[in-house]
Chains A and B, each alone.
Chain A
Amino acid sequence: MNEERNNGQTLLSVRDLHVHYSSGGEMVKAVNGVSFDLEQGKSLGLVGETGAGKTTIAKAILQILPDHSTKLVEGEISFKGRDILKISEQEMQAVRGKEISMVFQDPMTALNPVMTVGDQISEGIWRHQKVSKAAARQEAIKMLETVGISRDRIDEYPHQFSGGMKQRVVIAIALACSPELLIADEPTTALDVTIQAQVLDLIKELKKKHGTSLILITHDLGVVADTCDRVAVIYAGEVVEIGSLEEVFDHPTHPYTIGLFGAIPDMYKDVNRLSPIAGLPPNPAALPEGCYFAPRCPHATERCRSVHSGLERITGTHFVRCIKNQQEG
């Protein structure tokens, strides 16, 4: 299975995705023309700060955006060659949880408090795989052990588990039907560092074993460095820089990416002052003209404030959305 999936074929291709929703009478432009590809068996990190639109992208892929407030979902999301934005809800139900599944940030709220963890893991299995409930339970026990929880805890309720264990249960649910694509939204943000290390190692191991492709959403560049092959930096609902881990981490090029790296206290270097990014992210209901980052950018010129740059290749698979870099070549 591993080889089959590891042949460099594109599993997911997102093209020019736009998502707008209404909030408090305003039109919020959460995602503004996002495009990226994900190859089979690979992992892509989506990095950005609160409100950058990372989670909205994930929800758009799974089509779980709230109906009442979502005003526009446009573009193409091609999964195994099929545009899943165009299929019916019924067809999508067969994809969701089986071919694409998601791990949410907060394991405390992602689990149903009045259902045993065993029932929660086997629910997806018997729904998608048309097996008996007894067989699904056997499978659930196997999943529980895969994520490192003893089988005799299968009939316990979420409140009987610690935070790290709950996140393992959430991962077990997500991986129960061996999906081809796992979307993990800040899977370790709510966890302590030593538990974070355990959970990330588990995700990497399962990815290797089953050839699962991964989209990892995080604000933590360290998590990306540890887990991802490619990285896309998201700012104000746009990809501002995308490339392989080496391309982006060794040669961060967009001023926002450079700013992010400068703002992190380094474990191995003595820096007297951190260099924060001045100002705040723009209000997605009132995005500026020109480059969205220009109001905070130390290099911004008049042109930056009027021209909205496209994503341009600088080397290999490394793309940046900044007119200054394109001019300098």
Chain B
Amino acid sequence: MAFLEIEHLKKYFPSPRGMVHAVDDVSFSIEKGKTLGLVGESGCGKSTLGRTIIHLLDSTDGVIRFEGEDVTHPNKQKLRKLRENMQIIFQDPYSSLNPRLTIQETILEPLKLSKRFDKDSLEKEADRLMEMAGIEKRFRLSYPHELDGGRRQRVCIARALALMPKFVVCDEPVSALDVSIQAQILNLLMDLQDEYGLTYLFVTHDLSVVRHISTDICVMYLGQMVETCPTKELFAHSYHPYTQALLSAILTVDIHKKKERMLLKGEINSPINPKPGCRFAPRCPYATEECHQEIPLHEVEPGHFVACCHVKEINQL
């Protein structure tokens, strides 16, 4: 039994010009204690997918199973219980904290709501959480605006982990931070995972971050999954032309490793009422007539799934 399983999940938004297919028929599963990296460019639906799984958004269609139980349509009571187990850390630590609550109040809020602690042990627990997230005690009574981005993100992490959830969606948690701070937060997230056996869905556009933190990777393009496999496998050999372009576009600090860059034509097309078939086709150098048909994700090698009808020719498999 997989820890978290989603099947054919869809999330559409109505818009004046038609249906926005933000997440379109995505399936995957995550094992307990692992990290699944969800990669793709802005507008590919990765954040929407993360939010739909933890019920910040209602799914349009599909099934979400958490620890073997169908939790696609939970009632109020069940949702409350579910939220104790599923949490989220947002990208922007500036807008995701209440500016009128002190750091301690922010961390106390979930603890109070849970009614798990009596009055005396509440503050002790808040102190423990602050220490766990590496926030100095002197900031207990500070307000978010007094803290830098890295510390604010630590507060968001302490708040998300207050009730010891089993599953955490990390939605670009380090994208707004400077590199030196980014490394501190990534290390913290990995330490906490080791210590508490957390399972992460790590949403990011940064492939080097995802390589560092994830055990498995899903690559998304315009609401659909185009490739998924273990992280090591993807960086050793990616098969989908979009993944290949994405990997080749990453700039490295190794100035002696000159690599061929696969430049893509044009930009991401509209997710409103997309045409059937491969959504990457308009930008794909290998696209043919055949690409206008629906192409499901299929197993190319054990554990390595790709949605591309030319995958065999392109990669000479």
Contact = CB atoms under 8 A, between A and B. Distances in A.
Interface residues of B, number: 37
Interface stretch (A8-16, A30-38, A222-230, A315-323): A222-230
Looking at chain B's contact residues, the main secondary structure is: helix
A218 to B, nearest CB: 10
Interface in B171-220: 178-184, 186-187, 190, 205, 207-209, 211-212
Interface in B243-266: 245-246, 248-255, 257, 261, 263-264
A266 interface: yes
Contacts of B264: 194, 197-198
B263 A276 contact: no
A113 interface: no
B179 A267 contact: no
Interface in A237-285: 245-246, 249-250, 259-268, 271, 273-277, 280
A50 B257 CA distance: 28
Contact of B249 (A164, A194, A260, A268): A194
B150 interface: yes
A289 B32 CA distance: 50
B235 A267 contact: yes
A271 B187 CA distance: 11
Nearest to B148: A280
Contacts of B235: 267
A6 to B, nearest CB: 21
A20 B41 CA distance: 39
Most buried by A among B248, B257, B267: B267
B42 interface: yes
Contacts of B263: 197-198, 201
Given A192-B205, A264-B208, A219 B178 contact: yes
A311 interface: no
Looking at chain A's contact residues, the main secondary structure is: helix
B200 to A, nearest CB: 15
Contacts of A274: 183, 186-187, 212
Contacts of B257: 268
A259 B254 contact: no
Contacts of A277: 180, 183
A263 B183 contact: yes
A273 B183 CA distance: 9
Nearest to B242: A194
Contact of B255 (A195, A223, A225): A225
A74 interface: no
Interface in A185-218: 192-198, 200-201
A262 B42 CA distance: 27
A194 B41 contact: yes
Contact of A225 (B211, B246, B252): B252
A312 interface: no
Contacts of B253: 221-222, 225, 249, 261, 264, 266
Contacts of B252: 222, 225, 266-268
B183 to A, nearest CB: 4
A276 B41 contact: no
Contact of B251 (A192, A225, A268, A276): A225
A193 B246 contact: yes
Contacts of B267: 162, 164-165, 195
B179 A263 contact: yes
Contact of B180 (A195, A259, A266): A259
B187 A273 contact: yes
A139 interface: no
B151 to A, nearest CB: 9
Contact of A49 (B178, B205, B254): B178
B48 to A, nearest CB: 16
Nearest to A226: B251
A44 B255 CA distance: 15
A164 B43 CA distance: 13
Given A265-B208, A276-B183, 17 more contacts: A50-B178, A192-B268, A194-B245, A194-B246, A194-B249, A197-B263, A221-B253, A222-B251, A222-B252, A223-B251, A245-B255, A261-B253, A264-B183, A267-B235, A268-B252, A274-B186, A276-B187
Closest 3 CB pairs of A and B: A222-B251, A276-B183, A274-B183
Interface of A: 49-50, 162-165, 192-198, 200-201, 219-223, 225-226, 245-246, 249-250, 259-268, 271, 273-277, 280
Interface of B: 41-42, 148, 150, 178-184, 186-187, 190, 205, 207-209, 211-212, 235, 245-246, 248-255, 257, 261, 263-264, 267-268
26 contacts: A49-B180, A50-B178, A162-B267, A164-B267, A165-B267, A192-B41, A194-B249, A197-B248, A197-B249, A197-B251, A197-B261, A200-B251, A222-B250, A225-B251, A249-B255, A260-B180, A262-B183, A263-B182, A265-B208, A266-B253, A268-B254, A271-B212, A273-B190, A276-B180, A276-B184, A280-B150
